[in-house]
Amino acid sequence: MPIIDVTLAQGRSDEQVRKLIHELTHAACRAIDAPPASVRVIVHEVPATHFAAADVTIAERAAAEPDA
């Protein structure tokens, strides 16, 4: 049973998250010939203040952008 665990910064619509789940499920089915009923997708959404790269959070990076 494939388990796909995804972590995203918050801010996407329910429709976008649903599409991601759909696409990941079907990718697993194609790649390893898994039956769809066996594929599990877990989506974790975290606040932009809790998601960082290079010691800068997404929120900090957005605030520093000229368009913000």
With CA atoms as reference, report the closest residue to 62 among 52, 25, 41, 38. Answer: 52
- Tell me the pLDDT tens digit for each residue of 8-41: 999 999 999 999 999 999 999 999 999 999 999 9
Report the pLDDT averaged over residues 38-55: 97
The token pair at 45 is 């959404």
Q: List active site positions.
A: 2
Q: What is the per-residue pLDDT for 67?
A: 74
Mean pLDDT of 35-51: 97
Question: What's the chain's average pLDDT?
Answer: 96
Instruction: Domain 3-64: give its CATH architecture.
Output: 2-Layer Sandwich (3.30)
All structural domains of the chain with their residue ranges: 3-64
pLDDT at 66: 85
Helix (H, G, I), strand (E, B) or coil at 2: coil
